[in-house]
A and B are shown apart, each in its own frame.
Chain A
Amino acid sequence: MPPRVKTEKCDGCRAQKETLCVLICPGDLMVLDPASGKAYCRSERDCWDCMSCVKSCPHGAIETRLPYQLGYYPAKLIPLVGSNKISWTVMDIHGNVERFTFKTRNDD
């Protein structure tokens, strides 16, 4: 399932030409709607669910639901990104929650 942008949280990175999600998407799928100033995914079927945009969004405005092979709605995967750690919250269709925290980068 492709990324969904919550329009009330997205500020279009203050209507810059290229938002952070646009810059980071490896498939070049995210674009900024010039009319609304919000980002959206222009070709949902091409998304590989890499989650890069979700992690990069400074407002947590992008949400990815898990692909149907893994879980139907409302299964979700949500990251909380810290500077040295990231925590993934996984929710299955029954609402069971599991969290995984990893060390991602060590500045030292």
Chain B
Amino acid sequence: MPAGIGVYLCRCFGRISEKVDLERLKSKVVKWKGVSEVRVLTALCRPGDLASVVEDINAGRVDRLVIGACSPAIHPESFDLLPVSGLAADLVERCNLREQCALAHPGDQAGATTQALSLLKLGVARLKAASGSVTPEAAQWNRRVLVVGGGIAGLAAAGNLARGGVEVVVVEKRPWLGGRVAQLHRYYPRGCAPRCGLAVQIERLLQSGRVSVHTLAQVADVHGTAGNFQVNIRQYPRLVGQECTGCGRCEAVCPVVTDISKGLPGWRKAVLSPAGAVYPQAFAIDGQACRGPACGRCVEICPAGAIDLEKKEEKSFNIDVAAIVIATGTAPYDVATLERYGYGRLSGVLTSMDLEFLASPNGPTGGRLIRPADGRPARRGAFIQCAGSRDDKHLRYCSGICCPVTLKQTRYIRDAYPDAEVTVFYMDMRVTGHLEAMYRQVMEEGTVFIRGNPLGVARNEATDDLEVAAADTLSGRRVLVRADLVVLAAGLVPEPIADSYRLVKDGFGFVPGHLPCSPTEGRRAGIFVAGSAQGPMDAGGAIQSALAASAECLALLDQRSALRPLLDKTKCDRCKRCLEECPYGAITLDRDGYPEPNGTACRGCGVCQGGCPLRCICLPGFSSREVAACLEGPSPGGEEVRVMAFLCANDAYRALDGTVYPVNVLPVAVPCAGAVNMGWINDALLNGWDGVIVAGCRPDECHYGRGSELAASRMAKLQETLRSMQVEAERVRVLTCGIGEGGSLAAAMADFVRRLAEMGPSPFKEC
């Protein structure tokens, strides 16, 4: 006898067999075409019983399996028989006879048995239609990763990747690595100098031998998918060669002088000094500000002959990488837009970043805290929190780090002047976790906290002091605080992230990822986001996030099996809808214009198959033949109301386990509500199903982003068609359901069945 489908029914020590008449099932199933073996076993999860199944496969009696046992959510590993029998997972069909038959229809043995029969029919029909085993492809790609941004997050990610044996390319926009952290005076809460850790980190990175660094470079364009990105990088000329010894004569002779920042005293030149930078320890020339070869004083004076002002053209080159880590970070919000605080207009009004630079030994005053206008000691400091943050007209969000930063910076003033007078104006002090200790300490040190947004900052011409006017919202009094320095705790705004990455951003330009399922991913496989590009965070948070992103990245590089949607090229008309709708950008076009799914980028959501008008792209198990078999196999006849329910395997299908739902509904698991093709619903109606349910997660909760939203919009269009055909549009319904809401899903199903009974049989039923 040739091998056929083996149907194995589990008694589950009586839990199934008490409610479902397995012997009756067996007597029916054994007569079905294509079924070569039907057996009822005590407990399929027991090694002994499972061994007998494997024996049947290995003896050649059975080449496809229908397992009638508990829910696929239980024992997900037990029926993976590939290692012991060579039977691929897609040739094993699991019928949920326990949770969705035996336990779901208590006191109705006949109903439970009929339901079990329908499920088995569906399973057998689907296996008969299955084209054969789908072998997972081995992913093949280089082990090179691009890290965009050489700040603390980019360096942490690059370091971790290099340690993991990956070749790393770091692209940094500025002339030196280190990013914002290199401009900081001290970290909180320890008070250590950021340059210390940074130097060690960069040193280790360069010593690994796996990292190449491109400074003054930016990503111009990105093509491809996970495992195979082609990146075009544009590099601006540094104009100073590797021979630079850092002597600084060029800076001394440079005639171009510009401001460091709007709030700080001092200047910088077109020759940029690496003071404070860690790597590379070489000067650079600002090509925009430089007067060019006509001036040429720096070229003349350089003893090493390192400067060449003629080499002004940009360099452009391509690299192939398997994955990308984006660590582009943030910039401080432009507080000059808050006119009442006078930033850029009043000397002595600084941002937090300005104060860091002023306090730093590399700063314009060598680290002495003085009033920029007259050089007198700055012993009175006033800090204004939420400068632009939590403000409808500026930044609607809380930047999270400004409160601890201000607490840290009160120390700068207090360290310089023990008799300092420090005032902090705040809306709410947001210091969480272990930082609370720092807050308490700063309060004990005598810093005054006043709750209220200042009305404005002005200069008192008589005393030449800055005066901050505010209303103390706790005491209800107006206060006027005199200060030498006013520090605006500016919020953080994301550095722009190019659209060519096709990442899903929030309303502010951050890429927060899909929380909590995949926090480092912007819905584009193979591109990870690290550090404050995800959202405002401090250096510690940025390093944590970078380590997470690089760990994800390493896992992706080692992913060796890939399952992808199958394409029937004979049917495909290259409409590109799948490419447009894929939430992960996993589909590209091949040379002939046909979609080419990338198995590793694919998450198996099936949104492509849901949107395909010709139903020619599908996940294994969901080809039009297999789906048609599911719909025709247990084809309903008679007067009874029959409903086909496509349930999202993440939420709705699991939620239904263990609930009591109407026998009239036949549940089928689909990867996502967005994977349901409207053609399936047409098929179901034409095959005599009275109604169809598509149930997915609530729109905000979809694991794949927009699945249930897509299902609802597609369904609305179908309902309109049905209405115009004089068919009740209510025969098809989209339900949303969280994983813990099985009860309400079952109730909605019962209500649906009741409504259908009132409507009468489907008009397509008699045909």
Interface residues of A (CB under 8 A from B): 6, 9, 13-14, 16, 19-20, 23, 56-61, 63, 76, 78, 80-87, 89, 91, 97, 99, 101, 107-108
Contacts and interface: CB of A to CB of B under 8 A. Distances in A.
B252 to A, nearest CB: 59
A61 B717 contact: yes
Given A20-B573, A107-B624, A60 B717 contact: yes
A83 B615 contact: yes
B566 interface: no
Nearest to A81: B682
A99 B763 contact: yes
B720 A85 contact: no
Contact of A60 (B611, B625, B686, B718): B718
Interface in B690-731: 714, 717-718, 720-722, 724-727
Contacts of A107: 624-625, 628
A16 B576 contact: yes
Contact of A84 (B576, B580, B628, B685): B628
A85 B580 contact: no
Contacts of B632: 84
A82 B686 contact: yes
Given A9-B720, A101-B767, A82 B682 contact: yes
14 contacts: A6-B720, A9-B717, A13-B577, A80-B725, A80-B764, A81-B679, A82-B683, A82-B686, A83-B683, A85-B687, A87-B764, A87-B767, A89-B726, A97-B725
Interface of B: 573, 575-577, 580, 611, 613, 615, 624-625, 627-628, 632, 678-679, 682-683, 685-687, 714, 717-718, 720-722, 724-727, 763-764, 767
A12 to B, nearest CB: 11
Contacts of A89: 725-727
A56 B499 CA distance: 34
A83 B764 contact: no
* Chain B at the A interface: SS class: helix
A84 B632 CA distance: 10
Nearest to B576: A16
Nearest to A13: B575
A59 B678 CA distance: 9
A87 B573 CA distance: 24
Given A89-B725, A97-B726, A107-B628, 19 more contacts: A6-B720, A13-B613, A14-B575, A16-B577, A20-B573, A57-B613, A58-B678, A59-B717, A60-B720, A76-B724, A80-B722, A82-B682, A83-B628, A83-B679, A85-B687, A91-B726, A99-B763, A101-B767, A108-B625
A92 B589 CA distance: 46
A60 B749 CA distance: 27
A101 B725 CA distance: 13
Contact of B686 (A6, A23, A59, A85): A85
B577, B686, B722, B767: most-surrounded residue (chain A CB, <10 A): B686
Nearest to B726: A97
